[in-house]
Each structure stands twice: as structure tokens, then as C-alpha cells.
Chain A
Amino acid sequence: MTTTPAFAGWRFRQPSVIPGFGLTLGFSLAYLTLIILIPLSGLVWRSASLGWTDFLAIATDRRTLKALEISFGTAFIAAAINVVFGTVVAWVLVRYRFPGRRVIDAMVDLPFALPTAVAGIALTTLYSPKGWMGALLAPLGIKVAYTPLGIVIALIFIGLPFVVRTVQPIIEEIDKEVEEAAATLGANRFQTITKVLFPGLAPAVITGFALAFARGVGEYGSVIFIAGNLPYVSEIAPLLIVIRLEEYDYAAATAIATIMLALSFLMLLVINLIQSRTRKRYG
């Protein structure tokens, strides 16, 4: 062959003959640059003005570390809980027909639409030691409001629809024949669900987890009402950023934000990698 490849090593998959590849790719890149890339690089730029020693000093400050730990820790726990119960909710909504199903289906989206501050105030009222739920839990020695547990509950509320809405369509797609095949092969209902159906849902569940987790890390409005915001105990990183801003300490605020950004990006990247591996296998 006499032809030599134009790009050695770099190869694009040939786009289809339908036109639009250049245009749409160009538009996507320009759009993402304007909306996401420029603001975020501004953030990094601003914190870079600090210099390494100052940056490290803020990053390793005990209050910063604790706030990050609380933010990521509670978001992780909340996402994990949401994955379990969100999948159950999605399953019930898809598989069973009962009166009020549509209403419940619509209700799942409410946390999307509700101003998060409203959710936070409502949850605080319920779970404060004098509230309905809080009064029930107080005798058991469980304190919800003004503790990290309260943050977890707020994040569960916020993250639920992400899991339900990503898993639901996949459950709808499950082929009835696959369940029947498992039954004819001798699997009981429990084995069918745990060995056949749930593994098939894994990619969607991971996506739902990633979304709920990412949302939880960035959540501010609902958390600050229920958290009590005690430094080192229930102060989340986004709140610490706001506090620094109010102190006109922009450099510290952007430094914390940059660390959050890097951590979030890293975790989402890992989740995406896990996911693309499972996706590839299942085809």
C-alpha cells in the first residue's frame, strides 16, 4: 500500500456520511468552554495566585480538612443509601400497578424542583429535638438535626430522584424472558433478583450513585439549615467557602473550591471508568 495514514497514532473513528460532525463537535467544544471550562479555570487561576506555601497551608488547615471530610463523607453515605432505596422505589414504580402510582412517580421529582432551602427548613423542623420525628428519636438518644446525621438525611432527600430516574428506565427495559429463563433453570425468585436482575442494573446504579454523590458534595441550601454548622463537627466545605468569602478572604475560598473541584473530578473520573468497563462488557 502506498498511502500513509495522515495521523499516526491518533485516529478518529470515521464519522458517518451524514453531515454535521464538524459543526456539532465545534459547537459542543465552544459551549463547554464558555459554560464550564472558563469559569473553572478562572477558579484555578485565582487560587494559583496564592502560591504553593499559602495554598498548602489552607489545604492542610484542620478546619478545611474536617469540612472536606464531612462533605465527601456525608455525600458518600447518602448516595450509598439512596442507591439501595432509590432502586427499590424505581422497582416498585415500574413493576407494580397500584392506586396512586402516578402521584408517587411525580412526587419523586419534587426534590429536583423544590428550592433546597425550603427542604432544609422543613427537614430541620421535623428532625429538631422538638419536631415530630426528632421528638420520637430523642428518647432513643439519636440526635439528627445539627449533627452530620442531619446532613446525611438532607442529602438523601436531595439525591433520591437522581438514582430513581437513572435506574427506572433500565428496569423498564428488563426483558421478561430473562427472568423466565432464570426460573426454568431452577433459580428461585431471590436468586433471580440478586444474580440476574441486579447485576444487569449495575451500570445504571453506578450512574445514579455518581449523580447523587456529585450533587451531595455540592449541596448547600438544604444542608446549612439542618447541619447546625459547628466547625469541625457539622460544617460542610461549601459553607466554609461562603464563610471565607464573607471574610473577604477570596484566596482561601478559591483554594478550598479548587481542592473540592479536584477531588470531585477525580471521583467522577473513577466512577466513569468503572462504568465504561461494565458497559463495554454488557454491550
Chain B
Amino acid sequence: MEVRVSNVRKEFDRFPALRDVSLDIRSGELIALLGPSGSGKTTLLRLIAGLERPTRGTIFFGDEDASNRTIQQRNVGFVFQHYALFRHMTVADNIGFGLKVRPAAKRPTRAEIRARASELLDLVQLSGLEKRYPAQLSGGQRQRVALARAMAIEPKVLLLDEPFGALDAQVRRELRRWLREIHDATGHTTIFVTHDQEEALELADRVVVMSQGRIEQIGTADEVYDTPNSPFVYGFIGESSSLPVKVEDGQVWISDRPIGLSTPDLGDGEATLYFRPHDIELLDDCNGCIAGTLAASRRVAGTRRVELEIGGARERVEIELPVGHPAAQKSRVAFRPKRWKLFPKEG
């Protein structure tokens, strides 16, 4: 089922949580809504589910305007951040709930519901736990029951709100891989919300980066990581360093020195240079480079992270060096970013 969000705005007590958001989701896609807290990602998910009504704009399921449909009719599977399992029901009853509450004409028989529940428990690798109560399960198991419950109604769209947020790192990685497998096996259109970029990049077909109620960028993991289209995305996804620079005649300057980068398309004026700390080359002779004095040096896993102070304004940037690289011993380091992007100063 395709989902189309068209010019949706949502206000809570006149405070805009979403401002004019549009998004096309293809059938069978696995989409991540990624952003810091307060970016509106959960609001967008709840609007799609029908748990909130948009202040303006429309959400389409296929070609049909979903606004006319109640939550019950939308047939979405929603997995809540804190699972929201029914604690007085066994695992099997939880999973079968969506089928049991159907109107009599469409309701499967008890035996069919039971069979479907155990089939789904197999899928989420919890066979044999039918008779347990949610209180007797671990966090990861509850999460999987919640997913099985959502899938039992054969939803058109599967929506997950911070599905792994409350779990520890180990379980999280495991469930992430497992969710991808389930998605590939079942082919549901799936949208999940996360603030964890690693999760979004690893899992999703496309990532929707959100900030302050707007969509900043939509793209594959490669696209949003390699070609971020805004300072926010550059800063939010992956490591990044930034420096205030000046553009003159297509050349990039830091105070009064050109740094050997040319940008023919950008007009003169002040701008900010963004680059990845690991995407640099070190230079011996500084003929057009960024040079700075070494301010701090930290060992981070397999590399050494070095902080440099650049120019008279002592702007700090971070670069990454291989462990044991001689440059880390020097007091002055010169480098040039291999891949970078300039964003003109706003206003």
C-alpha cells in the first residue's frame, strides 16, 4: 500500500509540530523517520495511523483519502514505543486480539485465531510462549509480541514508534537485523521512527531526516550521508566538522588565506564549510590548505581524533588520523578535506 502525505500541517494548541510536510512512500518500502526529539517525527507517524488529525493537508492510502477513515478502518499495524501490551491477556490473546474484535462476519474461528497467533509467534521466534503474560517477558520479547500483534491484522502499513528505544544495545542490534528480515519476508510497507541515525541508515530503504517540524532531506543511506543537502543534515548524520569561510572569485578563503578549494558555482560572501573528520588528506607543505595548531588528541576506537585550532579566531575542528600517524606528534597540522560542502550563510 502506497502512502502519500500531502502538505500536512499539525498544530498542538497553536504550536506547529509539523509545517507543511509532504512525503511519498512506495508500496513495500522500509522508511525511517529520523530526527532529534521535537522534530515532529512521531507526530507524523501518528497522523498516518490516524491517532491524530492533521490541522491541514491530506494523507492518502493508495488513491483514497484516509481522513475519511477512522483509526479502526485504516488497518494499520502500530507498534508503540513502550509496547502497550494488554497485561491481563496471555501472549496468544494479545496477538489474537485484533482478529477477535472483528465484526462477526469477518471474524475467523477461535481455532483459526489460535493457529494464526502461533504462526506469528514462530515468525517472531517466540514459539512456546503462548501462555505467558507480558509481565513474564523480557523487554525484547515484549517488543516482538507487540510486532506480532500488529501484524496479526494483516495491516496495509506497519508503523513503529522508536521500536528499539527502550532496549539495551545488544538486543537492539539483534532485533534490527531481525526486523529487516521480517520486512523482506512479509513485504509490508513499513515506517519507523528513530532518533538513532545508525539504526536508520542501516535498516531503511530510504531515510527521511526531519528537524523542527520540517523534512530536511529524503534519500537512501548513501544519499543522506554522502550528499547532505543542508547544514542540519550534515551535522546530524555522521560526524562532521564545520568552519566559517569566505568565498571570493570561486575560491574558498579562511581569513586571508585561500585553502585550495574552488567553488565556481557559489557567489561571493560568507559561508560555512562542512566536511567529515575522516574524509581529509594530510599535507606536508601548506600551499593552499587548512592549517591549525594541535589543541587536543583523543583515541577513539581504531583511530585518533585530533582537535585543531584554526587561524586567529581559533575555530576548532576535528579530524581523524590513523593511530600512530606522526602528524599527531607535531604541534602544527595541515590538511585539506577530500569531500566537502559549502553552505552560504543565511540572511
Q: Which residues of A contact B (CB under 8 A)?
A: 175, 177-178, 180-188, 191, 195-196, 199-200, 202, 278, 281-283
Contacts and interface: CB of A to CB of B under 8 A. Distances in A.
Contacts of B102: 186
A88 B133 CA distance: 27
B135 A184 contact: no
Contacts of B133: 281-283
Interface string B101-129: 11000000000000000000000000000
A199 B94 CA distance: 13
Nearest to B87: A282
Contacts of B152: 185
B135 A281 contact: yes
A178 B153 contact: no
Interface in B179-206: none
A175 B81 CA distance: 12
A188 B152 CA distance: 17
Closest 8 CB pairs of A and B: A283-B135, A185-B98, A177-B84, A181-B84, A184-B78, A187-B101, A199-B88, A183-B71
A281 B51 contact: no
B87 A184 contact: no
A187 B97 contact: yes
A37 to B, nearest CB: 35
B88 A186 contact: no
B149 interface: yes
Interface of B: 49-51, 71-72, 74-78, 80-82, 84-89, 97-98, 100-102, 133-136, 149-150, 152-153
Contacts of A180: 51, 71, 78, 80, 84
Nearest to A196: B86
Nearest to B146: A181
Contacts of A199: 86, 88-89
B201 to A, nearest CB: 27
Contacts of B150: 184-185
Indicate the member of B49, B82, B84, B153 with the most A CB atoms within 10 Å: B84
Contacts of B89: 199
A163 B136 CA distance: 29
B86 A186 contact: no
19 contacts: A177-B81, A178-B86, A180-B84, A182-B101, A183-B71, A184-B51, A184-B74, A185-B97, A185-B150, A185-B153, A186-B72, A186-B98, A186-B101, A187-B97, A195-B97, A200-B86, A200-B87, A202-B88, A283-B135
Given A180-B84, A282-B87, A191 B71 contact: no
B153 A181 contact: no
Given A200-B87, A281-B88, A281-B135, A187 B80 contact: no
Contacts of A196: 86
Contact of A185 (B88, B135, B149): B149
A183 B72 contact: yes
Given A184-B71, A282-B135, 18 more contacts: A177-B80, A178-B84, A180-B84, A181-B78, A184-B49, A184-B50, A184-B74, A184-B76, A184-B77, A185-B152, A186-B101, A186-B102, A187-B72, A195-B100, A195-B101, A281-B88, A283-B135, A283-B136
Indicate the member of A180, A184, A278 with the most B CB atoms within 10 Å: A184
A186 B70 CA distance: 9
A176 to B, nearest CB: 9
B305 to A, nearest CB: 40
Contacts of A185: 97-98, 101, 149-150, 152-153
